[in-house]
């Protein structure tokens, strides 16, 4: 029989569910973690904790299911959108992940608004405003506040991208999450 594994990489927990090909739930798992709050506007988490949470829910699923791993034919990952993880060429995080609800980049969002304008950004990205939670503003914050990190970055990954990299060793991104980075052209992909 064919099985399908779904993983939800949420803000404070990972959840997983294994289904058979008929949609019957076979096993579930959950793993919670706490975010690191640094003042009112800064929220981070060590990217390795996300990876450990992912591995943990997979292990729990496999421990509850007597089947063969080779029978799992598809994996789907749903994740929080704008969590940003800058990595080096080997895919190693260069700093803690900046969680999607982090608002440290208020000044940088204002700079982007002044430079590009909300209307122009909307036409390209589909985003109705330029806010500090968008990864473009966070990248500008890193450039202005952590220049040593900024110079070492090979890729900026969202959480889903990071998990895909850890599973496949390939840098891959997906459009529905990229649309909220403020860097994705929705007209041309």
Question: What is the pLDDT confidence band of residue 174, given thresholds at 50, 70 and 90?
Answer: confident
The pair of three-digit structure tokens given for residue 181, joined into one six-digit string? 């980075």
Mean pLDDT of the region 137-143:
98
Mean pLDDT of the region 121-149:
96
Contact 84, 150 (CB under 8 A): no
Instruction: Give the residue among 119, 153, 111 at the shortest CA–CA distance from 136.
Output: 111
Nearest 5°: the CA angle 129, 35, 8 is 75
How do residues 51-104 score in pLDDT, each as one tens digit? Answer: 999 999 999 999 999 999 999 999 999 998 899 999 999 999 999 999 999 999
Nearest-angstrom CA–CA distance, 149 and 180: 23
Residue 95 DSSP code: S
Domains of the chain are 3-178 (3.30.420.40)
């Amino acid at each position: 029989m064919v099985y399908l594994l779904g993983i939800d990489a949420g803000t404070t927990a990972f959840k997983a569910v294994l289904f058979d090909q008929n949609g019957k739930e076979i096993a579930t798992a959950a793993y919670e973690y706490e975010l690191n709050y640094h003042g009112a506007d800064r929220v981070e988490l060590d990217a390795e904790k996300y990876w450990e949470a992912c591995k943990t829910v997979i292990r729990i699923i496999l421990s509850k299911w007597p089947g063969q791993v080779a029978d799992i034919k598809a994996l789907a990952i749903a994740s929080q959108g704008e969590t940003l993880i800058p990595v080096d060429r080997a895919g190693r995080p260069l700093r803690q992940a900046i969680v999607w609800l982090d608002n440290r980049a208020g000044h940088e969002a204002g700079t982007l608004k002044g430079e590009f304008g909300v209307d122009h950004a909307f036409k390209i990205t589909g985003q109705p405003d330029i806010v500090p939670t968008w990864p473009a503003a966070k990248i500008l914050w890193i450039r202005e506040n952590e220049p040593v990190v900024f110079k070492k970055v090979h890729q900026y990954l969202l959480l889903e991208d990071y998990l895909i990299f850890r599973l496949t060793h390939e840098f891959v991104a997906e459009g529905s999450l990229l649309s909220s980075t403020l860097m994705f052209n929705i007209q041309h992909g």
